[in-house]
Amino acid sequence: QIAKLGNRHPFGDDEILRLSRCHAYLLGSTTTTGSSATHGNDNSKKGAAASFLSQWATHCSTLPPADFTNPHPTDPYTSIFQIDPNLSAAATSTSSLCQNDFMRKIYITKVMAVVEEHILPPGFGDTLQRVAFTLPKQQQQQQQQQRQRAKQQSKHTQYKDGDADDDEEQENTFEMDRLDTFLNGAADCSRRGNRKALEIIFQCCRGGGAATNEGSKARAGELLNLAYRLGLACSLLTTAFKLYDEAIHSND
């Protein structure tokens, strides 16, 4: 799985494994379902779900490394499509290392809340997810319909030799397409040069819901404004993480 994805995206094996584990964890998190799109970036409200961008920043930057030498006793980690069961174990661990990761996660969550509330445009985190990190809506609907039809047919007919394997293969194809799209978005935003990154910014402005944006056009003012906000957010995050790491090291 990793080798196949490595041939398509400009990431090393360790990076693909990390991004894949983060993707599976995000999909399995109850806080990353459709509710975040409803609330936009107003994370100050009680019960409001964090946006995709905030969830991704929090989980990916605090994700412990995969431990294949110590597999989970009842649910071993065997596929990049599944949630690493050791993540749940780490979340409930009382070790000092896990506690440090927990405190870092809280810190990042608070910093991202400030960034999304005061710097980035409202709803940007979920707009970015829709533009760059999810399958096109029509393709996703078609794949879901195919999966539903396959499940309905399996209820009315007995499995023949190979039918179960076909269903599993179809499920894996759908999961691979979703993961491939996620990795493609990550590459476009960070590894494929300024032109690709600018295209993502343009798509976010065009798809941000502004009434003046039509077809393949976006207002130049909105484009410049978003680029400035992203630069300011990156500067704040870089400084905040540096100060946090310095504080942690000084306390050791």
| Nearest Cα residue to 25 out of 107, 83, 95, 89 | 83
User: At 207, is the pLDDT very low, low, confident or very high (cuts 50, 70, 90)?
Assistant: low
Q: What is the pLDDT of residue 185?
A: 93
First to last CA, the chain: 39
User: At 167, is the pLDDT very low, low, confident or very high (cuts 50, 70, 90)?
Assistant: low
Does residue 136 surpass a pLDDT of 80? no
User: At 169, is the pLDDT very low, low, confident or very high (cuts 50, 70, 90)?
Assistant: low
Reported as a single tens digit per residue, the pLDDT across 79-126 is 788 777 766 555 555 555 567 778 888 899 999 999 999 999 999 998
Reported as a single tens digit per residue, the pLDDT across 138-161 is 566 666 666 666 666 665 555 555
Taking CA 124 as the corner, what is the angle to CA 176 and CA 19, rounded to the nearest 5 degrees? 30
| Burial call 146-183: b when 16+ CB within 10 Å, e when fewer | eeeeeeeeeeeeeeeeeeeeebeeeeeebbeebbebbb
User: At 47, is the pLDDT very low, low, confident or very high (cuts 50, 70, 90)?
Assistant: very low
| Nearest Cα residue to 126 out of 40, 187, 46, 210 | 40
Contact 115, 236 (CB under 8 A): yes
Q: What is the pLDDT of residue 37?
A: 37
Q: What percent of the chain has pLDDT over 70?
A: 64
CA–CA gap between residue 125 and residue 137 (Å, rounded):
18
Q: What is the pLDDT of residue 194?
A: 93
Does residue 197 surpass a pLDDT of 60? yes
Which range (32-41, 76-85, 163-172, 190-199) has the least confidence? Answer: 32-41
CA–CA gap between residue 176 and residue 239 (Å, rounded):
36
Q: What percent of the chain has pLDDT over 90?
A: 30
The sign one gets for the Cα dihedral 108, 113, 114, 115 is positive
CA–CA gap between residue 88 and residue 85 (Å, rounded):
6
**CB-count burial class (<10 Å; 0-12, 13-18, 19+) for 29:** middle
CA–CA gap between residue 82 and residue 1 (Å, rounded):
13
